[in-house]
Amino acid sequence: MNNTEKKILSVSRNLFAEKDASQVTVREIAEKSGISHTTIYLYFKSKEEIIRAIALEPLENLFEELLEITKSNQEPAEKLFSLCNHYIAFGFEQKNIYKLVSLYEGERVDLPSYSALLSKNRMKSLELLREAIIEWLPADLAEEKKINIVRGVFFFLHGIIMTYENEEQQDLKRIQTIVRDYLDYTILSNHHEEKNY
């Protein structure tokens, strides 16, 4: 990646942090980058390609980090807490572009496959979370209910990030306690004795 390409991505990231992606134009990116808009097209075919380039790296990093957690020797419940807490920490780290990273090119989670590159990458991480949750659900629970519970946990995590994103300093200990209490009461409590949690 050369300096011009880095500059385009850096300026774009700042613009997307300030306003919704739909409000940012290639001309505006070019103007703020100090280059012509035709120069941008030498590096990126469209604004969508710029967005994908910005969002892809954090999503790939998130997947690798969550994968490490799933491979760890933690107990299943602690693994689930770690996955959720790590996702929240990721949201806060990426707070300036979190909406872009988490929602752009979004597709429903119950599709058999995904066409959008960012969706495919998001779903790899969601699949790790899904596996950690499914372990705690009754085997005979209807598939649709399992999907809805996974969705519910994701909406819960997403909601925490969106609620606290504008705070200068997030109280991570307090947030982790909220996550633990919520998961313990909603998903894990029926399995305490069974799973020796």
Domains and CATH numbers, the chain: 3-45 (1.10.10.60), 54-195 (1.10.357.10)
How confident is the model at residue 71, as a pLDDT? 96
Specify the pLDDT at position 1.
Answer: 66
Question: pLDDT value at position 191?
Answer: 60
Tell me what pLDDT residue 38 has. Answer: 93
* pLDDT of 194: 47
The reported pLDDT for the residue numbered 21 is: 87
Q: Are 70 and 128 in contact (CB under 8 A)?
A: yes
pLDDT at residue 73, as a whole number: 95
Q: What are phi and psi of 123, to 5 degrees?
A: -70, -25
pLDDT-flagged residues of the chain (< 50):
192-197
* DSSP structure string for the chain: --HHHHHHHHHHHHHHHHS-GGG--HHHHHHHHTS-HHHHHHH-SSHHHHHHHHHHHHHHHHHHHHHHHHHS---HHHHHHHHHHHHHHHHHHTTTTHHHHHHTT---TT-SS--SHHHHHHHHHHHHHHHHHHTTS-TTS-HHHHHHHHHHHHHHHHHHHHHHTTSSS--HHHHHHHHHHHHIIIIIGGGHHHHT-
Distance CA 54, CA 190 (A): 41
Q: Structure pTM?
A: 0.86
Model pLDDT, residue 76: 92
